[in-house]
């Protein structure tokens, strides 16, 4: 019967053995693809061997770079936890300090997006590393934009990608929003605008709103662009990427102005109040901002290639 020490030794070496076997399999595949044979056999060494070795190293490098690029395609957006007071059933320990959570009700807080359980006082020290789980994030509309893209591991909200692709090419993905299902393209554009209108935090966020309005109030064109560029830096990365994608789409829409009657000014009227909402509660102040909202979107469309 094997001793505990020999068993633990074999258990410790197992990951290294598996890694070695996996690397050997990958090497064998690459070697087979190149039609070469590595080893100490002198008879297999020919004049082509150095070239094949060079090709093997280059192919390995390409595979690694392709893997890195694939991982880099999805940006890592930072997201704060969405903590809410929670009553836990049964004994629970804080996932930050590892201490027991005392009490019968409201023992701590729980992140509504990723399910992290911590003390209320510990929640102030938890880093902004929320990784939303689809078990908790079950809706698309009326969901925080950054939460949605992190939950689905995408650059932009999938509904935005699907609607824009369908509008431009009538080629939907997965969900059936094709011409056979919805002949009227206005249904698709309406779905796109509704998504932005229902965002709890607008695409152009409340924090960045004043800077965008300032750009519309500026008379000098160069200062306008400079202020707009500064305003874009205030947006969360997921919001900025979605805005860039949308503005590129609207710029392409303006290229068919003769057919669709949609120039940058008209699109600004349509999308201004949809993408921007005044943080002011005063109705008159919000009403006065509508003309500036239109100008902001109009400038973003016209200067899309410069600003993004």
Helix/strand/coil percent split, the chain, to 5: 55, 5, 40
Is the per-residue pLDDT at 289 higher than 50? yes
Q: Are residues 257 and 163 in the same domain?
A: yes
Cα separation values, 137 from 47, 111, 146, Å: 60, 11, 12
Q: Examine residue 27 and state whether it is found in any structural domain, yes or no.
A: no
Selection from 257, 212, 252, 249 nearest residue 232 by Cα: 212
CATH number at residue 96: 3.30.60.20
CATH number at residue 264: 1.10.555.10
pLDDT per position as a tens digit, 73-105: 556 678 899 999 999 988 889 999 999 999 989
Q: Are residues 83 and 61 in contact, defined by beta-carbon separation less than 8 angstroms?
A: no
Domain residues for 276? 158-172+181-306
Q: The pTM is what?
A: 0.66
Provide the pLDDT for residue 167: 86
Q: Are residues 296 and 216 in contact, defined by beta-carbon separation less than 8 angstroms?
A: yes
Is the per-residue pLDDT at 111 higher than 80? yes
Mean pLDDT, the chain, whole residue set: 80
When divided into structural domains, the chain yields a total of 2
Residue 127 — left, alpha, or beta (φ > 0 → left; ψ -120 to 50 → alpha)? Answer: beta
pLDDT per position as a tens digit, 162-200: 999 988 876 634 444 455 555 677 888 999 999 999 999
Provide the pLDDT for residue 74: 58
Provide the pLDDT for residue 99: 93
> What confidence category does residue 284 fall into, taking pLDDT thresholds of 50, 70 and 90?
confident
Q: Are residues 95 and 234 in the same domain?
A: no
Cα separation values, 278 from 48, 78, 204, 243, 288, Å: 70, 25, 10, 18, 10
> What confidence category does residue 38 fall into, taking pLDDT thresholds of 50, 70 and 90?
very low
Q: Are residues 285 and 165 in the same domain?
A: yes
Provide the pLDDT for residue 70: 44
Q: Are residues 104 and 230 in the same domain?
A: no
Q: Are residues 299 and 163 in the same domain?
A: yes
pLDDT per position as a tens digit, 197-223: 999 999 999 999 999 999 999 999 999
Q: Examine residue 63 and state whether it is found in any structural domain, yes or no.
A: no
């Amino acid at each position: 019967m094997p001793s505990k020490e020999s068993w633990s030794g074999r258990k410790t070496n197992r990951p290294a053995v598996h890694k070695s076997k996996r690397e050997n399999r990958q090497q064998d595949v690459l070697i087979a693809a190149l039609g070469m044979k590595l080893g100490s056999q002198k008879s297999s060494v020919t004049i082509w061997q150095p070239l094949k070795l060079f090709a093997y190293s280059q192919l390995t490098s390409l595979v690694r770079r392709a893997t890195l690029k694939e991982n880099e395609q999805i940006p890592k957006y930072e997201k704060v936890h969405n903590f809410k007071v929670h009553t836990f059933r049964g004994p629970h320990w804080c996932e930050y300090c590892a201490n027991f959570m005392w009490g019968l009700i409201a023992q701590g807080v729980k992140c509504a997006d990723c399910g992290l359980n911590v003390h209320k006082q510990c929640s102030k020290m938890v880093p902004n590393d929320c990784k939303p789980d689809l078990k908790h994030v079950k809706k698309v509309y009326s969901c925080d934009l950054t939460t949605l893209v992190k939950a689905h591991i995408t650059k932009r909200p999938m509904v935005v990608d699907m609607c824009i692709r369908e509008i431009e090419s009538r080629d939907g993905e997965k969900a059936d929003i094709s011409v056979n299902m919805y002949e009227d393209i206005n249904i698709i554009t309406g779905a796109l605008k509704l998504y932005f209108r229902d965002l709890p935090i607008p695409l152009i966020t409340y924090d960045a709103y004043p800077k965008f309005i300032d750009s519309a109030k500026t008379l000098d064109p160069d200062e306008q662009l400079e202020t707009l560029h500064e305003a874009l830096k205030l947006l969360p990365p997921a919001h900025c990427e979605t805005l860039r994608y949308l503005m590129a789409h609207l710029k392409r829409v303006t290229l068919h102005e003769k057919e669709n009657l949609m120039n940058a000014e008209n699109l600004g009227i349509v999308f201004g109040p949809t993408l921007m909402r005044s943080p002011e509660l005063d109705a008159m102040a919000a009403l006065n901002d509508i003309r500036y909202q239109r100008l902001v979107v109009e400038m973003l469309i016209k200067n899309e290639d410069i600003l993004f």
